[in-house]
Structure 1
Amino acid sequence: MAKCVFCGREQDDYKGTFLMKNDGTINYYCSNKCQKNHLKLKRDRRKIKWTEAFYKARDKRITKERERVEKVRAKKAERSKDSDTGQKSAKKF
């Protein structure tokens, strides 16, 4: 079972091309589209929407953004709770 190094698609039967480098690593490309984007055009697979790496990077970015928003909301709720109880909050001038 070979997995394309650019798009991440797995294929049981051999229908693509293999590229063997001098250091012994083997790169498998499922199509000419993947091969050209990776070798000739030098594109980053995390920035191309139809690749598996793009969706993995996007999911990580979305979860980090959600965590950041939750922290900000928790801080705001804590500040409003402190002001409701009569404690003075520090003001910046």
Structure 2
Amino acid sequence: MLDYAMVVGTSAKRVRMRFSAPLVERFLKLQWWLYERAPLENRVDSSNAEATLDYFEEQLAEGSQERLMPDTYSINPGANDYHLETLPAPLY
């Protein structure tokens, strides 16, 4: 399936694209999933895709967008329980 396609059914048939091709290109170029969005959520109307992209592209260009660095763990089975190990960096 194409990025940002809306699909239905068990055999996944595309109904339409959620955004226009230029907006999809901007979303993919931005790689928004790599950045911390929570602190900025109240500063932009995320229901307006173009305005949201404008805002995040501007933040990224200014260097004020923080890279998302979630805590990452490895869970390994032991003899009677599981061992939780904190990994030094995200897996991506």
Q: Which has the higher helix share?
A: 1
Shorter-chain TM band: under 0.3
Give TM-score scaled by structure 1 length. Answer: 0.27
Q: Which has the higher strand share?
A: 2
Give TM-score scaled by structure 2 length. Answer: 0.27
Larger radius of gyration: 1
